[in-house]
Structure 1
Amino acid sequence: MADEGYLRFFPYDAPYDNQREAMDRIYNSLAREQDVLFEGACGTGKTLSALVPALEYARETGKTVVITTNVHQQMRQFIAEARAITRKEPIRTVVFKGKKSMCHIDVGYEECQVLRDTTREYVDTEQDREQLEQREQELLEASQAGEDGAAEARSTVMSELETLGDDLSDLKSNVCEHYYNNLTADTSEFFSWLFADVRTPDDVYEYAEQRHLCGYELLKEGMEGVDLVVCNYHHLLDPMIREQFFRWLDRDPEDIIVAFDEAHNVEDAARKHASKTLTENTVDQSLDELEDTDDPRRQPAKNVIGAFRRALSQVLDDTLSYGEKKRVKENWKDLPIANDDRRDDLTLAFLQTYSGQGINADLEQAQALGAALDQEYEDAYKNGETTTRQECQTLQAARFIALWMAEGGKGGQYPVVSVRRNEQTNEVYARAELYTCIPQQVTRDLFDEVHASILMSATLRPFDVFEDVIGLEDPATMAYGLQFPEENRRTFAVETPALFSSERGNPETQAEIADVLRDAIRMTPGNTLAFFPSYAEAERYFELVSGTVDAKLYRDEPGQSVEDIRQEFSNHDHAALFTSLWGTLTEGVSFDGNDARSVVVVGVPYPHLNDRMEAVQAAYDAAFSDRGRDAGWEYAVEIPTVRKTRQALGRVIRSPEDFGVRALVDKRYTEAARRDMGKYSVRGTFPPEERTEMLDIAPEKLKFAMLNFYGDKDAWGPEGPPAP
């Protein structure tokens, strides 16, 4: 394929050398219907490297490209790139978000579905009435002219008109005016406006709101035959949403090319989409619902749902003492119920408390009753008998219990009960959950059914592990490190004590790390990003360093606006931002030049090693026992941790002219630890070319190394560098 083919979609002067190579390889992989794993260092143009050949191949073969991310900053970047592309080679692009964020009347999904169906029926009935009114007028004229049978036919038509009038009256209370206008107005102007540029969901919402239209439904109508769709992960990872999504595109799955950005996040996102929950409140509402029906299937439903409710209470009582229950807070707290040699405690309690003709038979009856009640609720809302669309709690409960019994004992599923306190009522209530440990149970079907996928990130390696986890077979793999001059960066592994959780409270360790942070901040001619294993550790060192450096200090906290703090931090010329490696600033956020000249990673940010993580490790050990490695620890803990660290390091050096220092503050990053600390050393998990750049250094030497590096770059102004 000649360059001129795909380069028509490249919006800038010329691609980097690695971009051109990646484009060729991706195009050829798509032609072979081969998935692609594409690692490219931050700031090296991954998005265009994937989009450009994908758009070319899709244009040639009549397919649609779907690019997706779960990072808001990346969504904005996609829009910017798509706008740049369409100014050179026009493409039809739709940027799609969920219904909730675009609804003009703020109703839930089920209610919206009924409103939409009712509105469509209302419009169809109006059209029928118009036709009958026209026919009635014709028959009136015929009757006045003396035609035989015209008067009798007119009487029949008038009777039908009266019935239609009653139908319209019944339907009117559940009509969405915005969607009604979609169906009855000329919306061609909207689609001309939509494809004249790349419009954001906010643009669409504002346009539709001004004209009293439903922008969400208009977008769905406009997706047919588009070149590019930008969306969130859940449109592809949720099987039910994915099926609808492809239908809106009017594409079979084999006509879809999927590109996942920040693909290292697919593992956790898929796990969340696969996991199913049922709260104690839903079970209680289901039992109340059953009391209000006289359907003969009520008793079988009460048998299974009531027994499950009693089992939940028993698990709570057996697991939590009175004092422990008093200490439960508003966040969910897991209660371990899994057993190594038998089914979980909740299932055992359920089997003990159940009485009836048989669990499976009663569950079938419960689900059938739930489906019937759900249809009644929909009909009542549709006919104007209720003002909201009631959801059937019995159906939800019965389906979950059936899934729990069928899947809860299988490998890769972790049954768990959690508790939390309701802030309004102060009551403690429980939730049963089937937690999916192995993401490929969700992702494999997606990758099998689409034409091909491109999964890109700055941190995908080791590729074989990623292939195992998400279920890819024989993908093309490519990795490009930083293409910018190596002399523009230094990566130091600082030999401070290993910040194990048992070491974090040690005053001597804290003092040594605080000194390293002070040195890094002082010796940085610009801003410093400091990442920690948790927000609590970020707060600890923020307090230790505050007042001891001549720099403005910021602390990122959960619930704060990331964009607001990033903007304020970037506006300073000498500041430091303290945050968690598990927060939102580690990826998808750009800091250019002095906005973040140095980045410091303190500690190794292992995830919280709770029972869920142990279940994931056990599942990986069982699933990948033939790999000749400690799959549980490596797949579930070590590799995701190093990916998170590498993402943080990528916040600096974003262009060929940029320069900076990356400091890893924990001896587990050093070469000596690789020899002496066994599996707790993480140096060997970094890609080879990144390891070769790491320079081991004593804590007290870091300030001199930074002084020399930034001095060689003439990074300080006329006043010169600070004294080391």
Structure 2
Amino acid sequence: MRFFPYDAPYDHQREAMDTIADTLDDGRDVLFEGACGTGKTLSALAPALAHARETDKTVVITTNVHQQMRQFVEEARAITEEDPIRAVVFRGKASMCHIDVGYEECQVLRDTTRDLVDSEVDKAQLERKQDELLEASQGGESGAAEARSAVMDELESVEEDVADLREEPTCEHYYNNLARDTDEFYEWLFSDVRTPDEVYEYAERETLCGYELLKEGMEGVDLVVCNYHHLLDPAIRKQFFRWLDRDPEEVICVFDEAHNIEDAARDHATRTLTENTLDGALDECEDSDDPRSEDAFGVLAAFRRALVSTYEDSFGFGEREAVGENWEDVVVANESGRDDLTLAFLEEYSGRGIDRDLEAALEFGEELDERYEEAYRNGEAQTRAECQTLQAAAFVESWLEEGTALGQYPVVSVRRDVGTDEVYGRAELYTCIPREVASSLFEEVHASVLMSATLRPFDVLGDVLGLEDPITMAYGLEFPEENRRTFAVSTPALFASERDDPEVQRTITRTIEDAIRTTPGNTLVFFPSYYEAERYHDSVDTRAERFLDEPGTRAEELRREFVDSEHAALFTSLWGTLAEGVSFDADDAYTVLVVGVPYPHLDERMDAVQDAYDQAYGDSNADAGWEYAVEIPTIRKTRQALGRVLRSPEEFGVRALVDKRYTETAEREMGKYSVRSAFPPEERRELIDIGPEKLQFSMLNFYGDHDAYGGDPPEPRLD
């Protein structure tokens, strides 16, 4: 309780904290589902900090949702007011850099700057030493003159080094980090919990590098707040733990919105190689007289020709001209045997051996990469070039060795270059099962707490992420049940084939209009896609102010405009950023509608994921592919959307699932098309089946019972 900053926890919070504390003592993982607004963050953070303080560990809490990051900062600030903790909120280098250079250039600038500062320190020490020896020599001390001569020789050499280094590219901000006393910065940093923006502003004002200062100051802190990639990317994770000066077993990980780990880990595991990178690699090989460059050119040129022929052969009449600016997949995987790109590559290749040539290409690439770094370090190049040959050869090697492994899906994509209007391609090893990436993390660290409002079914999540025998606990909405109604509205099922039916659209439109009209405030309306959101935004007839969320819209600005309204409706996609991790508290929104069952786009990649899960888990579950890849993620998204309202015991509101597939009748009559059974049992029990024409009356009664209208209730539609 020393790290619980408020008067008292809810009963379920105290129970959860006790369970997590005991589990951390045993070094086990926790899967913790808690309904939105029920205090999951502190339930996990308080016992984690207590365990870390007692056992000299560091807690790392992470999310991929920006608003949750801000919430973590608020909670950490509240904690440190009661019991001071040393906390760092860490963000990637790209958003913290004051001179806007890439990662490789930053590495070289940092190394050169450190060499310069070290040489200047050596120079200053030698100058002091020669002054001391000069004074000793003038005082008649035996041997002082000879020693001073040796020091002067060394000083001359160091002065030359300093002069040379001052001619090379360096970073002024990082130079000041090393040359100045930064104690004042760290006193400021740890006097409160500082956001990355605050650190950036401080560093910009003082011409320091805030990113490097944070890295240097992370050693032994109590708490780090960061993004998923700091833990899920194996290479970054290794560096990250080194900055903490912690072995993995000295780290406790807390993942918020943990239902997103699967997709995030999949992204980190996926590898790509573009045609442009191949072109750059071939140019490097042609410009070199290294004998290995010829072997590298042969194998990489064959892969490039195969890539081009593969996507060109896939085009039907007019399809090449229709390629747009976004990547579009070309299916190359075969049910039996190697993929089309590999077969084309083997046909194109005519060297003395692919393995031999790839080994030569890797050796040549590694040496060339070292030359690029040396050239930048010495000031011979304005930017730090990345070796295209090394990247291309490493990818081709992985493509051949891992392309047929379980969970790896080889795919080719094409897009149109905006600048040249030319079509070009890329090869990609898409990772279907992220278990390999995620499980290594959970095996390394002391323990992890994975929390979300939508983790169940726990066994599926444990399988997908590679968690061994985790402790599980789930808490539904603990707020008064009389303050909420959850309806399953039996409108027509919005199958893709039915969405354009005028009668279906009319029924859905009227249902949405009824819900908006009878809501004493704002309404959130979620759809399976932005396209459907726009369709009904344009067709709904309402006096409420309408807001449309579109791809590329700044979600926070839109949210603020919406909540500032007294009677508004916000139309958005359930796969957008407003469906989770964004709070609509108090009177920000009263009603939330989920229209349709928002299955993801079922393309070849999704088929590959389903096939991979079928192969991995099909022995114990004949429907593993569909359930793991499609149905369960969809219902998690739906439950996240429902959780946007009702964030405290005092709030009240209506949640409605608008599609008959959510109803109990569909469970009996529609078989596998029904989704009601995918909800947890206690949530199914709260679902009230209702016809679309009755929804407005039920809402009028509910909100009327809570005296929500502040006057006469709206008139129901009677036609």
TM-score (norm 2): 0.98
Letter in 2 for 1:559: G
What does the per-residue CA deviation read over 1:483-527, in whole Å, with 9 as the maximum and x for residues that have no partner?
001111111111111101111111110111000000000000010
What does the per-residue CA deviation read over 1:584-611, in whole Å, with 9 as the maximum and x for residues that have no partner?
0001111112211000100000000000
- What is the deviation of 1:154? 5.2
- What is the deviation of 1:179? 0.8
Residue 444 (structure 1) aligned to one of 439, 443, 447: 439
Please tell me whether the aligned partners of residues 488 and 659 of structure 1 are also in contact (alpha carbons under 8 angstroms): yes
Partner of 1:560 in structure 2? Answer: 553
Residue 508 (structure 1) aligned to one of 489, 503, 506: 503
Residue 578 (structure 1) aligned to one of 564, 571, 577: 571
Partner of 1:697 in structure 2? Answer: 690
Partner of 2:32 in structure 1? Answer: 38
Partner of 1:616 in structure 2? Answer: 609
CA distance in 1: counterparts of 2:33 and 2:330, whole angstroms: 38
SS at 1:297's partner residue?
A: helix
Partner of 1:336 in structure 2? Answer: 331
Letter in 1 for 2:109: L
Partner of 2:2 in structure 1? Answer: 8
Letter in 2 for 1:107: V
CA distance in 2: counterparts of 1:516 and 1:114, whole angstroms: 61
SS at 1:710's partner residue?
A: helix
What does the per-residue CA deviation read over 1:254-312, in whole Å, with 9 as the maximum and x for residues that have no partner?
01000000000001000000000010000000100111111111111112111111111
CA distance in 1: counterparts of 2:47 and 2:147, whole angstroms: 65
CA distance in 1: counterparts of 2:107 and 2:500, whole angstroms: 54
What does the per-residue CA deviation read over 1:559-601, in whole Å, with 9 as the maximum and x for residues that have no partner?
1111111011001111000000000000111111221100010
Q: Quick check: 654-663 or 167-176, which moved more?
A: 167-176
Residue 479 (structure 1) aligned to one of 469, 474, 479: 474
Paired residues for 1:186-225 under 5 Å: 186-225=181-220
CA distance in 2: counterparts of 1:682 and 1:330, whole angstroms: 36
Partner of 1:537 in structure 2? Answer: 532
- What is the deviation of 1:224? 0.8
Please tell me whether the aligned partners of residues 170 and 384 of structure 1 are also in contact (alpha carbons under 8 angstroms): no
Partner of 1:551 in structure 2? Answer: 544
Q: 1:583 to 1:146 in 2, by over 3 A?
A: same
Q: CA RMSD in A?
A: 1.4
CA distance in 1: counterparts of 2:137 and 2:289, whole angstroms: 53
Paired residues for 1:160-175 under 5 Å: 160-172=154-166, 173-175=168-170
Residue 285 (structure 1) aligned to one of 267, 280, 283: 280
Q: Indicate whether 1:455 and 2:446 are aligned.
A: no
- What is the deviation of 1:321? 3.6
Partner of 1:606 in structure 2? Answer: 599
Residue 257 (structure 1) aligned to one of 252, 255, 269: 252
What does the per-residue CA deviation read over 1:43-97, in whole Å, with 9 as the maximum and x for residues that have no partner?
0000000001111111111111100000000000000000001111111110000
Residue 97 (structure 2) aligned to one of 99, 103, 110: 103
- What is the deviation of 1:424? 1.2
Residue 627 (structure 2) aligned to one of 623, 634, 637: 634
Letter in 2 for 1:49: S
Letter in 2 for 1:490: R
Please tell me whether the aligned partners of residues 527 and 575 of structure 1 are also in contact (alpha carbons under 8 angstroms): yes
CA distance in 2: counterparts of 1:182 and 1:292, whole angstroms: 39
Q: Indicate whether 1:588 and 2:581 are aligned.
A: yes
Partner of 2:321 in structure 1? Answer: 326
- What is the deviation of 1:164? 2.7
Letter in 2 for 1:112: C
- What is the deviation of 1:153? 5.9
CA distance in 2: counterparts of 1:457 and 1:71, whole angstroms: 12
Please tell me whether the aligned partners of residues 697 and 716 of structure 2 are also in contact (alpha carbons under 8 angstroms): no
Residue 68 (structure 2) aligned to one of 67, 74, 82: 74
Q: Indicate whether 1:391 and 2:386 are aligned.
A: yes
Identity rate of aligned residues, in percent? 70
What does the per-residue CA deviation read over 1:449-491, in whole Å, with 9 as the maximum and x for residues that have no partner?
1001000000000111111111111100000000001111111
- What is the deviation of 1:133? 2.4
Please tell me whether the aligned partners of residues 412 and 619 of structure 1 are also in contact (alpha carbons under 8 angstroms): yes
CA distance in 2: counterparts of 1:305 and 1:347, whole angstroms: 13
What does the per-residue CA deviation read over 1:308-345, in whole Å, with 9 as the maximum and x for residues that have no partner?
11111110121124621111111000000000110111
CA distance in 2: counterparts of 1:384 and 1:156, whole angstroms: 31
- What is the deviation of 1:684? 0.1
Please tell me whether the aligned partners of residues 601 and 648 of structure 1 are also in contact (alpha carbons under 8 angstroms): yes
Please tell me whether the aligned partners of residues 711 and 721 of structure 1 are also in contact (alpha carbons under 8 angstroms): no
Residue 703 (structure 2) aligned to one of 701, 704, 710: 710
Aligned residues: 716
Please tell me whether the aligned partners of residues 597 and 659 of structure 1 are also in contact (alpha carbons under 8 angstroms): yes
CA distance in 2: counterparts of 1:220 and 1:374, whole angstroms: 26
CA distance in 1: counterparts of 2:636 and 2:687, whole angstroms: 16
Letter in 2 for 1:291: E
Paired residues for 1:462-473 under 5 Å: 462-473=457-468
- What is the deviation of 1:721? 3.3
Q: Which 5+ residue runs of structure 1 have no aligned equivalent?
A: 1-6
Q: Indicate whether 1:123 and 2:117 are aligned.
A: yes
Partner of 1:3 in structure 2? Answer: none
- What is the deviation of 1:151? 6.3
Please tell me whether the aligned partners of residues 700 and 713 of structure 2 are also in contact (alpha carbons under 8 angstroms): no
Q: Indicate whether 1:407 and 2:402 are aligned.
A: yes
Letter in 1 for 2:57: K
Q: Indicate whether 1:60 and 2:54 are aligned.
A: yes
CA distance in 2: counterparts of 1:10 and 1:146, whole angstroms: 70
What does the per-residue CA deviation read over 1:351-405, in whole Å, with 9 as the maximum and x for residues that have no partner?
1111222111111111111110111111111111112111111111111111111
SS at 1:627's partner residue?
A: coil
CA distance in 2: counterparts of 1:183 and 1:466, whole angstroms: 45
CA distance in 1: counterparts of 2:350 and 2:676, whole angstroms: 57
Query: 4+ residue runs of structure 1 moved beyond 4 angstroms?
Result: 138-159
Please tell me whether the aligned partners of residues 278 and 304 of structure 2 are also in contact (alpha carbons under 8 angstroms): yes
Please tell me whether the aligned partners of residues 136 and 158 of structure 1 are also in contact (alpha carbons under 8 angstroms): yes
Partner of 1:181 in structure 2? Answer: 176
CA distance in 2: counterparts of 1:317 and 1:549, whole angstroms: 50
CA distance in 2: counterparts of 1:628 and 1:641, whole angstroms: 19
SS at 2:318's partner residue?
A: helix
- What is the deviation of 1:209? 1.2
Please tell me whether the aligned partners of residues 517 and 714 of structure 2 are also in contact (alpha carbons under 8 angstroms): no
Partner of 2:269 in structure 1? Answer: 274
Letter in 2 for 1:483: E
